[in-house]
Amino acid sequence: MGDLIDHSHRPSKLLLMLEGRAVYDAAAMLPMWGLKRFMPRGDNHPVLVLPGFLASSRSTMPLRRYLADLGYRSHRWKLGYNTGYSYELHDGMRDRVVKLVERYGEKVSLVGWSLGGVYARELAREMPDIVRQVITMGSPFRGHPSSSNVYKIYDMFSGVPYEKMPESFLQHMAYAPPVPTTALYTRGDGVVAWQSTVELSDRVDVENIHVGGAHLGLGFNPRVLIALADRLAQSEGSWQPFKPPAWMEPFYRNWYPDWLVHGNENPLEVNA
């Protein structure tokens, strides 16, 4: 498939400032507590939720509570703040997955917000025999420094900055892991280029779902919550593409005008 690394320009300053609308995503989560009874019920399998860059498990608490109420064994990562990649952190995440599998005796699903989703994909790539599926939320797994508004901050904290990551590794990271994989993305992302958060794959068990909203609000976004409930409820070995309820279909369409969304490149159309 050639070069999968995204080289789009980073989101505009306008989109970055509009990330403040994440408070509306958070407020919109409140009605979801009353709608949970209409969501597909979980089968009690373990789900590990990984936070985004510079966030901790506190940021994923509402999401984990929601998943637990649906019927999943929902777990935090127990590794403090996500300050970027390090070999120590990698080992800690791997141990966390292994311990959950040993504890419950079944595969674990991985849900990752932003950078947490990049980690989730790599964990699934390393341990496909014990990972059930991966769901990413605004995760720049095909990212390049030029397509992020926070890469300089990332380099300040991360044990391995962008410049020290070999291109061969970035190319490898852009391929979907060998488990069912879902990428939730928003074209209105003000933190990373949305083009870097979508899958380019011909596999039938790999998909992209447009959820709209702000990058910082993805963990509360009702469209995300509905998609998560649907994806996690699938029986192992019987994966089917996501199809929202008929009344919800308009909410999953892209309503962002081209003048607002940076760049005209649409990898989903080029690779269709």
Q: What angle do CA 168, 89, 67 make, to 5 degrees?
A: 105
Which pair of tokens denotes residue 139? 């995760």
Report the 10 Å Cβ neighbour count for 127.
18
pLDDT at 6: 85
pLDDT digits (tens, 9 = 90+) for 185-225: 999 999 999 999 999 999 999 999 999 999 999 999 999 99
d(CA 4, CA 142): 7
Q: Is the pLDDT of residue 263 over 70?
A: no
Identity (one letter) of the amino acid at 151?
Y
d(CA 201, CA 181): 10
d(CA 152, CA 62): 29
Spatial CB neighbours of 260, under 8 Å, sequence gap ≥ 6: 14, 15, 188
Question: Which 8-state DSSP code applies to residue 130?
Answer: T
pLDDT digits (tens, 9 = 90+) for 46-87: 999 999 999 999 999 999 999 999 999 999 999 999 999 888
Q: Which domains does the chain carry? A: 13-270 (3.40.50.1820)
Which pair of tokens denotes residue 262? 């940076």
d(CA 93, CA 228): 21
